Amino acid sequence: MKKLTSLVLALLMIVSCAAFASCGGGEEKDANVLVIGGIGPLTGAHANYGNSVKNGAEIAVKEINAAGGINGFTIELDFQDSAGQPESAVAAYGKQMDDGMMVSLGGVLSGETASVVAAAKEDGSLILTPSASADDAIKDNDAAFRVCFSDSSQGVAAANYIGANNLPKKVAVFYQGDIDYSTGLYEAFKATADANGIEIVAEESFTADTESDFSTQITAIQNSGAEMIFMPIYADQASTFLTQAQGKFADTMLYFGCDGLDGILGKVADTAICENVLLLTPFAADDSKEIVQKFVASYKETCGGATPDQFAADGYDAVYAIKAAIEKANITPEDQADFNSRVVAAMTEISVSGVTGDMTWEASGETVKLPLVMIIKSGVAQLYTPE
């Protein structure tokens, strides 16, 4: 009798475990909840990028859920801190998959995204990185896409923009030689310079080991006759350069960067040193479009009055792109069969009007949209209007 009672109790425990929770103690996933994972530096030197993406994505999730969700799904955002380390990003991705993540925003930075994209290849799950721009960040994974421009496309777009508008053609390049982001942009810019009438009069570089003293590079650029400095670098290093270069160049000197310079105003003690800095970006907070101003107002209300940068806008648009793909694939809580293949296929069939522009996606994972250029004047970044 004791043996029979024990057997019955064991069977009841198994049934209970299967019906209500995993045997490891976790709760069974709610079929009506769609978990979107995100990974990025929320701490460390590049935390401004990660927190911006997270904030933008959270606002989109809140808006979508308030409007009824996606085809019956309620969205849940699971955003993990990588501290900018690829190993931490891969570990976070694995945990998110174990916890029921269905779609991933990949990483914020290119290096961590490349690691996640490689680790995710066998899963077949959609990865839509908001801001990983390195050309190789999404390679060799047909389920990986991005919202931002690739490095090479930014380099080409920068040269084309300078060539097409009334901007100086004597250009010095100041770049970081030991990171793919900077060298990728520089190489693409250089390859397109001649066709746009650009003369590169100086090429000065630095590495992570030499990023505290730019006096040698500044002197070389002074002696080159450059009228513009192309700076495909991050805001941290750009703030150091501009601080050390203060008073060394003519007031008419222009500085041209790409998405890595976004957020530079928050990196400097005196915003006056950022005067005449131009940024190639798909987002401008002072854009008069209703969708942009609605997002800016929501961001300021949510984030203590802070103005959103491009990274926040990328995070916001990434969530809305995922929404569009799920709707296009007609996936519902009741019909989740072949979820991964259906939502991935839908990415090349959707068109999204976001705060970073009107977007479509190629099978390569690259986005197609138009860039904007901002200029910093009197401590404020505003849309640049060519003369």
Tell me what pLDDT residue 45 has. Answer: 86
Q: Say if residue 80 is in the same domain as residue 157.
A: no
- Exposure class string for 3-17: b at 16+ Cβ within 10 A, else e: eeeeeeeeeeeeeee
74-95 pLDDT, tens per residue?
999 999 999 999 999 999 999 9
Q: What are residue 175's DSSP bridge partners?
A: 205
The string of DSSP codes covering 199-223 is EEEEEEEE-GGGTT--HHHHHHHHT
Q: Determine the structural domain holding residue 268 and report its residue range.
A: 152-281
Which H helix or E strand runs over 261? none
Q: Is 15 a domain residue?
A: no
Per DSSP, the residues of 333-355 read: TTB-TTHHHHHHHHTTT--EEET
pLDDT of residue 28: 63
Q: Give the global pTM.
A: 0.81
CATH number of the domain at 309, please.
3.40.50.2300
Whether 20 is covered by a domain: the verdict is no
Q: Is residue 326 part of a domain?
A: yes
CB atoms near residue 103 (< 10 Å):
24
Q: Decide the pairing of beta strands 228-231 and 254-257.
A: parallel
Report how far apart, in Å, the C-alpha atoms of 232 and of each of 46, 215, 238, 259, 313 are.
Answer: 16, 18, 9, 8, 20
Task: Select from 281, 314, 332 the last residue of a domain.
Answer: 281
CA dist., res. 22 & res. 33, Å (int):
17
* 275 and 159 co-located in one domain: yes
Whole-number pLDDT of residue 20: 36
- Quick: pLDDT tens for 359-383: 999 999 999 998 889 999 999 888 8
Q: Is residue 225 part of a domain?
A: yes
* The pairing of beta strand 199-206 with beta strand 254-257: unpaired
Smallest Cα–Cα separation from 38: which of 343, 318, 299, 281? 318
pLDDT of residue 198: 98
**52-64 confidence digits (pLDDT tens):** 999 999 999 999 9
Write out residues in the chain with pLDDT < 50, as ranges.
1-26
d(CA 157, CA 163): 10
* Whether residue 257 is found in the same domain as residue 220: yes
| pLDDT for residue 138 | 97
318: three-class secondary structure by DSSP:
helix
Q: Is 337 left (phi over 0), alpha (psi -120 to 50) or beta?
A: beta
Supply the pLDDT for residue 371.
86
- Structural domain count of the chain: 2
Domain boundary among the residues 227, 247, 281 is at: 281
One domain, residues 235 and 264? yes
Q: How many residues does the chain have?
A: 387
pLDDT of residue 22: 36
